[in-house]
Amino acid sequence: MRQDSIGTTDPLVALFIELARIPSPFGHERSVVDFITTRLRGLGLEVWEGDPLYDNSKSSAGNLYCRIPGDTDGVTILLSAHTDTVASDPDAYPDPWLDGNVIRSRSRSVLGADDKAALAAILYAVEKIVREQLPHAGIELLLTVGEEGGLLGAKASSLEKLESRCGFCFDSTGPVGDLIVKSPSQKTVNALFMGRSAHAGVVPEAGRNAIAAAGKAIAGMRLGRIDEETTANVGIIRGGDAVNVVPDRCSINGEARSHDNEKLEAQVAAMVDSINLAASQEDVDVEITIVDEFTGFDFSEGGGLPVELAERAIRRIGLTPGYASTGGGSDVNVFNLMGLPCVNLATGMEKVHTPDESITVESLYHMHEMILALVEEAQKEL
């Protein structure tokens, strides 16, 4: 651990703050991708970008790939983080600052430690490896866009271009040293209720209220914590144009997650049954779509190469591996499904997706040190 005094002139802290000052909400990652590209190409590295996630947006960008050919025996590893943040107050500009040993946001904007702390640690480690010509068996970077929009960048990634045998994403709360060994599957449930409009004060009986049907559907659902492995939620409802018009359209968007696929299917089926029953009772039509957002994984009984390397790297820097289960998804879910064994590693970020988001300088350096340790461990025979 670093024992010397840390200030904003500290290179890793300064790099993170510089990244955090660049607004990059989902769909607007162009500036931060350009920043990282310039830094990597300045090291003489091979860098390429995938197709923009959204063709109709000048601020949209594609996934960023980088390859650093190895010069020793061992296994090539992938380091990954995402370049976007959640959207925050549109009138608030990112304003990170160093408060003692903690980096916070001075504005109503999120700090962006999710996931720019990981971006800073990865970029700083790569710069050290290249400039000091440290030996390694091969390093590849995949810095995704669109993670906060539903892992869209990961789903659009081109893993066939990579040589890595395993990967490490840095995108979870919890102390550095924690490995996420269990993650659920998620399905989104979308329903559009279609009724009949009418003047609410003259001929309300001629209308078919789509909002009433949607409300009855939600009221009939079991939501929240279903059991220790399963959750469900309806988070968006939209409908109506005026208070004196019986609304003929209303949409709801919900989700279900579970570590058990049978429980997930049962919960989704129950939500669909409630939607259909409410539509029938209110005499409206309904269109339902189910989307597989991501597939879960369970490494609690052993996760193979990435978990083994991570455990060794964590111990190498003097920490004790911790094992955590999460209710969320990450790019790791997608990469594992695509056939690249990956593990998600905690970064030390706290209160993410809020203006109170923060990360300590110690966590930044632990992450940086763990990346260097992963590179060293990948050179060993397994």
Catalytic residues: 84, 147
The token pair at 62 is: 């594609």
Question: Which ranges in 90-163 belong to alpha helices (H)?
Answer: 113-131, 152-155
Q: Tokens 């002139």 belong to which residue?
A: 9
Query: Cα-atom radius of gyration of the chain, to the nearest Å?
Result: 23
Strand-pair partners of 199: 245
Per DSSP, the three-state class of 199 is strand
Altogether, the residues listed in the chain come to a count of 382
DSSP 161: G
Residues 6 or more apart in contact with residue 5 via CB below 8 angstroms = none
CA 259 to CA 184: how far, in whole Å? 4
Residues 6 or more apart in contact with residue 136 via CB below 8 angstroms = 68, 70, 71, 72, 74, 129, 375, 376, 378, 379
Q: Are 188 and 290 in contact (CB under 8 A)?
A: yes
CA 364 to CA 125: how far, in whole Å? 11
The Cβ of residue 236 has, within 10 Å, a number of other Cβ atoms equal to: 10
Q: Which long-range contacts (CB under 8 A, 24 or more apart) does 199-207 make?
A: 199/244, 199/245, 199/246, 200/243, 200/244, 200/245, 200/246, 201/244, 204/246, 206/246, 207/246, 207/248
> What's the longest Cα–Cα distance across the chain?
81
CA 286 to CA 190: how far, in whole Å? 10
